[in-house]
Structure 1
Amino acid sequence: MKTLIIFLFVVATTTFSQAQEVTRLGEVKVGFAPINTEIIKTPNGFTFVIDKVRSIEFTSNPIGFMYDNFDIENFIAALDNDRYSNYEVSLECSRGSMVAFFDTKGNLMSTHQNFKDVLLPLAQRREVYKNYKGWTMTKNKYRAKTKGKVITDETFKITLQKGDRKQRIKIAGNNQGISLASN
């Protein structure tokens, strides 16, 4: 019995002493695009293709999505040997795209956004519903331009249908009202 207790004590001591070993981990690099994207180099810049799962998040707030999921400083550092005068970065998904222009320091200069079949903001939805009762929105297109992060031009082009009749309307995003598009 005495030898069994000594044997168990030696096994326990050996096990606990081995558990205290320090493991050093290798260096981890954080890239400029933490989301799982496909990166394509084009003659004018780089294109990041966003998967379908993240496309709804991207279309609801493209600039916020870009800042949350794309690090322009690391991107510029990775291209340090090329020394571009400015950077054109395209983010694309199945519903549309945004092209962002950055200066050499990584400051956002402007963006161009084009999307289709997006959820209209609440004010525009209410305006369309109030003025076109009984009509169904069959498709829409959203276009916007920004200077930095501020939207300077925003429009929604909407196709409505009621029975066999179709009508196209255009809504300015800054609440200037609805105008009929000429066919």
Structure 2
Amino acid sequence: MKQFVTLLIFLGLTCFVFAQEEHDGITAVTLDAITVSPVNVDYLQKVNDGNTPEVVQELQYKAANFDVTSLNEYDKKDIHTFDVVFKASNGDIIASYTADGSIVTAFENFEDIVLPMTVRKMVFDGNDGWKMEKNRYICVFSEDNLTKKQYKVTLTDGNQKKKMTFDFDE
């Protein structure tokens, strides 16, 4: 048994020695740096900030990087705008694209999401003992502008209800 283990160690070390051989025929190649940005970077800059929930951010990135030319229904000559719906378990984004793939309008609607920490602090500041019953996130993007970004929250405390609205428009 000792001889077998010694043989395995010897073979293992031998493999490492061969693996570290230098190959003189290989030369390094330096490539020029390039920057790749999505077509809809304006959309992402307007709708995505520190107050955007994570589930919403995931769909926003999918919408911004979506290639409308990959769909069978796409015809550059006939379509002025092309509507695409991106769905998550608790909401969706309806985006309208031009023939070149730019987002013209987008409507984001999500319910019962995990609110970002800054919004949670605003909701519960001065509302000790209240519980969040439901919430809704709405964002409207149109023609390179954020026209509406809003949270609607319903709080309950026993039989009492309180509705709050937080606007994050530009």
| Matching residue's letter, 2:162 | Q
Report what 2:96 is aligned to: 101
3-state DSSP of counterpart to 2:113: coil
Report what 1:66 is aligned to: 63
Report what 2:124 is aligned to: 129
How many residues get paired?
A: 118
119, 132, 142: which is aligned to 2:137? 142
Report what 1:113 is aligned to: 108
Identical residues among aligned pairs (%): 24
Normalising by structure 2, we get a TM-score of: 0.59
CA distance in 2, matches of 1:81, 1:168: 46
Indicate if the aligned counterparts of 2:63 and 2:95 stay in contact, CA closer than 8 A: no
Q: How does 1:9-88 map to 2 (within 5 A)?
A: 58-68=55-65, 70-75=66-71, 79-80=74-75, 83-88=78-83
Report what 2:153 is aligned to: 158
Report what 1:18 is aligned to: none
3-state DSSP of counterpart to 2:125: helix
CA distance in 1, matches of 2:157, 2:73: 53
Specify which structure has the higher proportion of strand. 1
Deviations along 1:30-69, one digit per CA (max 9) or x if unpaired, are xxxxxxxxxxxxxxxxxxxxxxxxxx9643443113235x
Q: How much does 1:165 deviate?
A: 1.2
CA distance in 1, matches of 2:95, 2:150: 18
CA distance in 2, matches of 1:149, 1:118: 26
Structure 2 unaligned spans of 5+: 1-52
Normalising by structure 1, we get a TM-score of: 0.55
Indicate if the aligned counterparts of 1:63 and 1:149 stay in contact, CA closer than 8 A: no
3-state DSSP of counterpart to 1:113: strand
